[in-house]
Amino acid sequence: MNSWKKEITEVDLDVIYFEYHSCPSEITEVFVWDYDKTYIESNPETLKGFYRAATEPAEKKETVAGVIKKLQSVQSEWESHNPGKKFPLYFVTASPPQAVHKIISKIKLDGFEPLGIYCKNNLRNFRPSRWKMIYNHIGYKLHAFYKIWDMAGENILFNLWGDNSEHDYFVFTLLSDFGSGSMTDKEFVKTLESYKIKKRQIERIQKINKGLPNRDPIKAAYIRQVKPDRVLPDRESFYFHK
C-alpha cells in the first residue's frame, strides 16, 4: 500500500520528486506540464478530489481535450532535432504522492514517458491550521520549477504549460522575474509573504536561486483557459503567453 514511499527520489519540504529517467546531458530545454486541469480534468484540492486522484483507475481519468495531440507534436518536433535522446518531459501536480502510481499509469497509457513527476505533500495540510495551504500552490510550484532548473542545468530553458484556474501564470512570472534578477530578494520575499508562503520555503527557493545565473529561464509559457479570463475572454484552450 505504501510502495510509493520506496520510490521517492527526493523530499524537499512539500516538494516530493519521483524520477523515472535521468535528465539527458547536453540538452538546452525542458518541457514541464502542470497535471491537474492542464493535462487532466481533476480537482485534488477537495477531500473528494483528493481521494479520487489517489484511487481512480488510470483508464477512467479524462485527459484534457487536445492535449495528447499537442504533446505528441511537441515531442516529435523535439526528437527530430535531438535523435537518440530521451524527451525531457516533467509533470508538476498538486496531487498527493499517494496518487503517483495512478498518475504515471495514466501518462503512460496516453503514450508518454516522463523523466519525472513532482507531487505536493498536501496530506499534512488537511487540518484547520493549514487548510488554506491546500489551495495555495504558489510556493510549491515555484519550488518545483527551481528544483528542475537546478537539476537540469543552469543554462536550461523552460517550456511551461499551465492553466488559469490557479496562479500558474503568476508562478511563471515569478520564475522569470526572480530568475533574471529583475525582482530583488526583498521584493521576492515581500511578494511571497503576501501570499502566505512559509518562510522556510521562501528561503529554500532563494538558496537555489543564488546558485544559478541571473537570467530569464523561460523560453515559452502556455496557459489553458479553464475559467473565464477577464483579460482575454475570447481566448480558446491553450494560449501563448511568452
Contacts of 113 (CB under 8 A, 6+ apart): 20, 21, 86, 87, 89, 107
Is 52 strand, coil or helix? helix
Please state, in angstroms and as integers, the Cα–Cα distance from residue 194 to each residue in 6, 181, 204, following that order: 36, 20, 17
Residue with more model confidence, 212 or 43? 212
Nearest alpha carbon to residue 169 among 159, 178, 158, 161: 161
The DSSP secondary structure of 151-206, one letter per residue, reads HH-TT-EEEEEEETTTTHHHHHHHHHHHHHTSS-HHHHHHHHHHTT--HHHHHHHH
The pLDDT tens digits of the residues spanning 32-76 come to 999 998 999 876 555 566 566 556 677 778 888 899 999 999 999
Domain range summary for the chain, segments of one domain joined by +: 3-240
Report the distance separating Cα 108 and Cα 89, nearest Å: 12
- What fold is seen in the domain 3-240? Rossmann fold (3.40.50)
Confidence band for 126, pLDDT divided at 50, 70 and 90: low
Percent of the chain predicted with pLDDT > 90:
67
Contacts of 6 (CB under 8 A, 6+ apart): none
Is 34 strand, coil or helix? strand
